Amino acid sequence: MSRCFFASDLHGHRNRYEKLFERLRAERPQVLLLGGDLTPNPFVQAKLDSWPPEDFFAWLAGKFDALRKDLGSEAPRVLLIMGNDDLRVEETVVEAAAARGSWEYLHMRRVLLDDGDPVYGYACVSPSPFLLKDWERYDVSRYVDPGCVSPEEGSRSVPVTADEARYGTIQKDLDELTGSDALEQALFLFHAPPYKSKLDRAALDGKMIDHVPLDVHVGSIAIQRFIEKRQPKITLHGHIHESASITGAWQDQIGRTHCFSAAHDGPELALVEFDTEQPDQARRRLL
């Protein structure tokens, strides 16, 4: 049994990180999971009062190092992935901090919680309208929704081979990540939500491209099918900020799998709290 906090899509907002560390110090969960889109977006966030720090992941690692020093054995394990707004060139900084013990980096990896439950991480999302493609993959095929840009276009902070851009899919990655593992007790830290769930509803009502209506569900079909077939215990998601406001739900259930989202379209920190053995009692606080 592990008491967990989950946050995602903090996008470098100072007040959200301040509230997060305040709650970690006050409530001392055993595990903190961070679901990507952690860094500031330099195109939309003004730099006020020397914020954000120039080397954001190094700053964040220092904050967790200080937390671990202050709380000792009561400091949480920190498990994180990056998201589609985080530059992949920063992955070397993230991995170096993981090697020093600041956190555990989970993309395409698996770790065990103290209670033995496995946790898997996966950062990639299906094709979007955005031009940064560091963490985008085709979903189950090379189809791209109207209005979206393929992973073969756009820009990347780290180059990939033409074959990886052209033929890599979320579906293939999840098969590689999990193989034939038993997943009944597993947790998955995703950035993308599952397709046609309460967690992937975008504000696209009535919008069209070349007279073609846009799909208001923008999650991953591969992740949806994976959950339906493999039925892990808990899956964690972010990415679609407005979904909870539109659907009125930050959680969903697919078969026996409990799915939680910490994406939020307001200024607050959305903090999801759950116990690995009692996921039906999870709650979300807006702080």
Distance of alpha carbon 132 from alpha carbon 85, whole angstroms:
7
Cα 76 to chain centroid, rounded: 18
H helix intervals, the chain? 14-27, 56-71, 91-100, 162-167, 170-178, 221-230, 243-247
- Of 43-52, 81-90, 241-250, 274-283, least confident by mean pLDDT is 43-52
- Cα angle for residues 37, 254, 103 (degrees, 5° grid): 35
Which of the four pLDDT bands, split at 50, 70 and 90, describes residue 251? Answer: very high
Tokens of 205: 């009502």
Across all residues in the chain, what is the average pLDDT? 95
CATH number at residue 220: 3.60.21.10
Residue 112 burial class via C-beta count within 10 angstroms: exposed 0-12, middle 13-18, buried 19 and up: exposed
- Count of structural domains, the chain: 1
How does pLDDT run across 111-156, given as a tens digit for each residue? 999 999 999 999 999 999 999 999 999 999 999 999 999 999 999 9
pLDDT given for residue 1 in this prediction: 76
Measure the CA angle with vertex 23, ends 274 and 244; round to 5°.
55
Q: Is the pLDDT of residue 95 over 90?
A: yes
Residue 87 pLDDT > 60, yes or no?
yes
What's residue 26's pLDDT? 98
| CB proximity list for 285: less than 8 A, separation 6 or greater | 270, 271, 273
Q: Is a pLDDT exceeding 60 seen at residue 273? A: yes
| Per-residue pLDDT tens over the stretch 186-244 | 999 999 999 999 999 999 999 999 888 999 999 999 999 999 999 999 999 999 999 99
> Residue 88's domain spans which residues?
3-286
